[in-house]
Amino acid sequence: MTNTSDNAADARLALGNRLARLRQAAGYTQESFAPRTFYGRSSIANIETGRQVAPREFWIRCDEVLGTGGVLTQAHDRLNFAEYHRHVGALSLDSASGLPTDSWGLTSQEVGTTSSCLISCGDVIHRGDRPCPEQRPPVDLGYVEHWNRLLSVLVASGNAAGGHGLIDIVAHEVRIIAEHARSAPGPTATALRLTTARWLEFGSWVADNQGKHATASTWLTHAHDLAVAADNEIMAAYLLMRRAQQATENGDPQTSLALLGQVNLARMPARIGALLATRSAQAHAALRNGPAARRDIRRALSMLDHGDTSDALDTELADHSTVEYVLAHEGMCLSSLAEPNGAVAALESVLSTWPHTQRLDEGLFRAHLGFAHAGTGDHDAAVTETRRALQIGVQTHSTRTLRVVGQIMNLDLRGAADHADLAAQWTATNEQRAIRQR
């Protein structure tokens, strides 16, 4: 049997070696790199050789200094995920319910093999061909906390680095959660189905950003079905919001409005209510209905200013629903409404203080800012922001960002400073994407 502590040490060493390679490639010695991370040279040496464990903040800082787009942070998060899954989660569940620890092991082969892990959502939820072993102990609410904590690790990693490679992990975990839900008693089974829905929603978000729209749509639909079956109005509304977002981004704002019309906004807590209103604004803007879009943005901001923000599920699902988030989408709506000056003002204001841990949204917002600059006739600024958006989009593997960049590249920006460099980068990006899709 493989010693799990040895596995963890090997993984830490591999991460440290990766840092060393990236540091050297960027031209830093340990002495010159250390002050930029607020660590000493000896600490850098120990981290790179796996003798010292560094916190997440260290890896975020390294990504910032080296311009690596969050790859080190994501690798750290995956290591934490595996260690937590193997140790903390398994031990806590073992003590609560007698579950054998090795039943929860997440091996690198299981995570890395798409053919075995990327199964259809319908099979995940409804397949009943593998009965639970008779010796399996009773399933209790400790399982729910376990998977919710695991999910929080992945969400943080996805926000920072785009979630590349996380679809397999989600599919693997969803299969296990669904199996345990089938053998759980009533309230616990309901809670596990809601947990399954949350994992599927996260997986759909990652899939959408990676251009796997069929997977994203299927997972969102099943997640919504689970929330409805559990009679959880807030979760169901959140999932309708996500489906509406997907519909608008796929060019179907009428379907988006029809989905949003199924929700009683007055019954929603503040953050999710603001997201619903924001999606309505986006759909109306896509339909060139400026008054309706502005009304919805005002309502979203009002809900955040005056609504009830004490609901725990509201906070867990929608902590990204902030005033700044809504204002950024106001800028995107203004761009859709052919009001580029207003769009530039709104997006520049938001991006001036946007957190570096939310890189997926930053890339999308910068792409829209580039498009808005082009609309004002400031082609130099358009190229500058588009180059930044392209860099983030490539680093986070975000097809949502790259789709907007593609719209900008269809505009005539010739003569703008650095346009030739942008065009070359865009061509290289498309060639690399084509190779990966073969």
Distance CA 300, CA 260 (A): 14
Of the pLDDT bands very low, low, confident and very high (cuts 50, 70, 90), residue 353 is: very high
pLDDT tens digits along 382-398 = 999 999 999 999 888 89
Which residue, 163, 154, 252, is CA-closest to 212?
163
Lowest mean pLDDT among 13-17, 132-136, 155-159: 132-136
Report CA Rg, the chain: 23
Average pLDDT over residues 249-261: 97
Question: Which pLDDT does position 126 carry in this prediction?
Answer: 37
Which residue, 317, 362, 263, is CA-closest to 64?
362
pLDDT tens digits along 10-62 = 888 999 999 999 999 999 999 889 878 877 888 899 999 999 888 887 898 89
pLDDT at 114 over 70: no
Those residues with Cβ within 8 angstroms of residue 351's Cβ, 6 or more apart along the chain or in another chain: 328, 362, 365, 366, 369
pTM as predicted: 0.71
Those residues with Cβ within 8 angstroms of residue 126's Cβ, 6 or more apart along the chain or in another chain: none
Element containing residue 341 per DSSP (H, E): helix 340-351
pLDDT at 113 over 60: no
pLDDT tens digits along 212-245 = 888 899 999 999 999 999 999 999 999 999 999 9
